[in-house]
Structure 1
Amino acid sequence: MLVNYLRFLLLPFSLIYGLAINLRKKLYDWGLMRSVKFDLPVICVGNLAVGGSGKTPTTEYLVRLLSDYKVAILSRGYGRKTKGFILADANATTETIGDEPLQYYQKFENVTVAVCEDRVTGINKLKENHNLIILDDAYQHRAVKAGLNILLFEFRKLGTLQFLLPAGNLRDVFSSRKRADVLLVTKSPVPLLHVAQQASVNELQPNENQQVLHSYLKYGDLQHLYTMESRSLDSIKGYEIFLLTGIANPDPMIEELEKYSKAIKHEEFADHYAFKDDDIKNFKSAFELSNKKEKIIITTEKDSKRLKAAGFKDLLINLPVYFLPIEVELFEEDKITFDELILNYVKSNRRNR
């Protein structure tokens, strides 16, 4: 209740923020601020809200779909302690490039991963040696004119009242969706009823040239933080789960874990949170004080990058610590449409076609 009241007090600042956003939009629309278009396919994955819409697994979906091409992923590298253009290599850490870029780098050996606040500079450094570039979280970075914009909307938040920052979580006005080529509704329920699908379309009110498609999350087997061991979610039925997250929206993950256990103790931190020694020590103490014989520690794949890179191995090495991988999948008809749209765009816009 207090949080809602405080947000209400911040509404005047959201109004000012909205005016600034709209002015900036107009300056780009009128050509008074310059957008750079490149001569190779550039796909932008973005959203209007702050985090939690599924950009990372959607980017990974694109990488798998485009495996026949030389792909570069360019990110801002949120949460890193460095500046400028950095190419990920074997020495990369969450502090040098950020947690999501590190996840991409360690997951896809044939993909180039780079970070740069200035996406124009970043693309210029990558374009000569790659067939296409995927911009992770760059929808508001209008200095680049992407060839294909994929804008994500979380299913459960469509139709709800949302405010601009700082009163709410929106960093862009809803009308900005009109610039996108694909409006991808993420984290949809399975099965997806036709009435729910149509409700998304009614809410988004697409232009004639915009596709409204639906995706859902698919969870893999649990992976041990330090070894190659994996185990199925079925194997932890009835376990006491100690969940550690530092992501924008852990609710879908909690819902998945609740299918296997109702005993979930959740330690929640902000998105991209830099874990501290005391955080992990306190979490470990709570785990060890539990009298339950069958218990397990679970975190997200993104959080696992920060846990492994932050020097916590001595604290966690002897504990059953696992991360839960997720992937994005599209419903059958939408998948055909989406895959065809992406592949046709890349094929028709590649250099020397």
Structure 2
Amino acid sequence: MKKLSPILRSLLIPFSLLYGLIVSIRNLLFDFNILSITEFKIPIISVGNITVGGTGKTPHIEYLINLLKDDYKLATLSRGYKRKSKGFLLADEKSTTNQLGDEPMQIKRKFPEILVSVDRKRVNGVKSLLKSENGNNLDAVLLDDAFQHRSIKAGLSVLLIDYNRPITRDYIMPYGRLRESAHEKDRANIIIVSKSPENMTPIERRIIVKELNLLPYQSLYFTCLNYGNLEPVFEEDAIAISEDWANDNSSILLVTGIANPKPLRKYLENFSDTVEELKFPDHYAFVQKDLDLIQQKYDQLEGENKIIITTEKDATRFFDMQISQDSIRKHLFYIPLRIKFLNDDKSMFDNQILNYVRKNKRTSNLHNIKTDSI
């Protein structure tokens, strides 16, 4: 996307001021209990951000699932961005990306044993989960992208901040990328600086700590992103590929529909001199003409070892498609994305999450501070 000139961008300042005022008034209404907040007698962990665009919410949700799933009955609840369905929906083995949205579908495919649900109204979503067939056994709910959804009170709020886009140096949208003022970070119990460099120096860490100016009740952690091994999108048709595939000097066609594909491209350029790219908008719904374009670009790649690589989120959309192109079905792979905590942060974060869930494990049915929902 082409950047606006400083003059044109400055014209957005009045809109940012107006938007910031509206958001601030809304937050004050919640702060003074004029807008109602609903609380539940079940551990609820919210994972969200202030910045527009990807901060790595889904990999962090998946980390929490892996941490808790062996000992607790879990559910996730998200809006289901760009799904074609409405209202509350609980995923099952027949669910599709169109019904759930790509990120909930990714979680359901990876963790079929947990409850995955979507609802734009989060209070109604939790109530519906607890009333569902397996709701009586539910131990904890993970709310995805819910930092701004203040009508529901999370027992533990996790705020993600992109290392490359510090909120302390950003502005309210549309002039900047912030959904609300940076000082609203004070609502979070845990702040995670995501996408950090793995080799971060102590002085870099101290600078961030100073800029964020944490409150006594807040914990700060740092994570980086790690790419996993290639996985076939269509396992039954895929060509055999070794873990050492990069040494085959493969030509790569990168196909993405995410907010920021630059890190993935940079990663792949470590393994191949030929990385062609097809970029689509975030959460893009692929159609047949896109498959034809992918086929065309794949045929134009040089060399004998050719491969198509996409993200795990994009792969969920390809799973549901009727793809007749044999070469796409054979050569389409995705790279899983995982998070890694820096230094000693992992054990401290794990203990904080586990202690919260253990101490607040559900003991009775839902309890409302106020029954009105927003």
Matching residue of 1:114? 117
> Which of residues 273, 291, 297 is equivalent to 1:286?
297
Q: Which moved more, 1:254-263 or 1:3-12?
A: 3-12
Give the C-alpha shift of residue 16 in structure 1.
1.1
In the superposition, the TM-score normalised over structure 2's length comes to 0.89
CA distance in 2, matches of 1:16, 1:122: 31
Matching residue of 2:139? 131
1:80 is the counterpart of 2:96: no
1:188 is the counterpart of 2:199: no
| Greater relative contact order structure (CA < 8 Å, 6+ sep) | 2
Q: Aligned runs of 1:201-350 on 2, under 5 Å?
A: 201-227=209-235, 231=241, 234-237=244-247, 238-314=249-325, 317-350=328-361
Q: 1:138 to 1:263 in 2, by over 3 A?
A: same
Q: 1:202 to 1:251 in 2, by over 3 A?
A: farther
Q: Which moved more, 1:181-190 or 1:312-321?
A: 312-321
Q: 1:182 to 1:89 in 2, by over 3 A?
A: same
Matching residue of 1:177? 185
Give the C-alpha shift of residue 262 in structure 1.
3.4
Q: 1:89 to 1:295 in 2, by over 3 A?
A: same
Q: 1:317 to 1:351 in 2, by over 3 A?
A: same
Aligned partner of residue 297 in structure 2, secondary structure: helix
What is the count of residue pairs matched by the alignment?
353
Aligned partner of residue 286 in structure 2, secondary structure: coil
Give the C-alpha shift of residue 75 in structure 1.
0.7
1:92 is the counterpart of 2:95: yes
Give the C-alpha shift of residue 276 in structure 1.
2.1
Matching residue of 1:140? 148
CA distance in 2, matches of 1:233, 1:193: 31
1:63 is the counterpart of 2:65: yes
Give the C-alpha shift of residue 43 in structure 1.
0.1
Q: 1:47 to 1:316 in 2, by over 3 A?
A: farther
Q: Which moved more, 1:328-337 or 1:83-92?
A: 328-337
Matching residue of 1:4? 4
Q: Which moved more, 1:170-179 or 1:228-237?
A: 228-237
Report if aligned partners of 2:226, 2:339 keep a CA contact under 8 Å in 1. Answer: yes
Aligned partner of residue 3 in structure 1, secondary structure: coil
Q: Aligned runs of 1:14-93 on 2, under 5 Å?
A: 14-67=16-69, 68-93=71-96
Partner AA of 1:235 in structure 2: W
Give the C-alpha shift of residue 236 in structure 1.
2.1
Q: Aligned runs of 1:129-168 on 2, under 5 Å?
A: 129=136, 130-158=138-166, 161-168=169-176
Partner AA of 2:84 in structure 1: K
Give the C-alpha shift of residue 315 in structure 1.
6.1
Give the C-alpha shift of residue 31 in structure 1.
0.7
Q: 1:139 to 1:211 in 2, by over 3 A?
A: same
Give the C-alpha shift of residue 292 in structure 1.
2.2
Give the C-alpha shift of residue 312 in structure 1.
2.9
CA distance in 2, matches of 1:7, 1:223: 42
Cα deviation per residue 1:242-284 (whole Å; 9 max; x = unaligned)?
A: 1111111222222221221232112112210111222221122
Partner AA of 1:25 in structure 2: N
Q: Which moved more, 1:318-327 or 1:101-110?
A: 318-327
Aligned partner of residue 270 in structure 2, secondary structure: coil
Q: 1:266 to 1:163 in 2, by over 3 A?
A: farther
Give the C-alpha shift of residue 223 in structure 1.
0.6
Cα deviation per residue 1:145-176 (whole Å; 9 max; x = unaligned)?
A: 10000000111112784332233332222111
Q: 1:340 to 1:45 in 2, by over 3 A?
A: same
Aligned partner of residue 120 in structure 1, secondary structure: helix
Q: 1:231 to 1:151 in 2, by over 3 A?
A: farther
Give the C-alpha shift of residue 313 in structure 1.
4.6
Q: Which moved more, 1:71-80 or 1:313-322?
A: 313-322
Report if aligned partners of 2:295, 2:325 keep a CA contact under 8 Å in 1. Answer: no
For structure 2, which runs of at least 5 residues remain unmatched after alignment?
365-374
Q: Which moved more, 1:220-229 or 1:180-189?
A: 220-229
Matching residue of 1:101? 104
Give the C-alpha shift of residue 218 in structure 1.
1.8
CA distance in 2, matches of 1:159, 1:19: 18
Q: Which moved more, 1:189-198 or 1:130-139?
A: 189-198
Aligned-pair RMSD on alpha carbons? 2.0
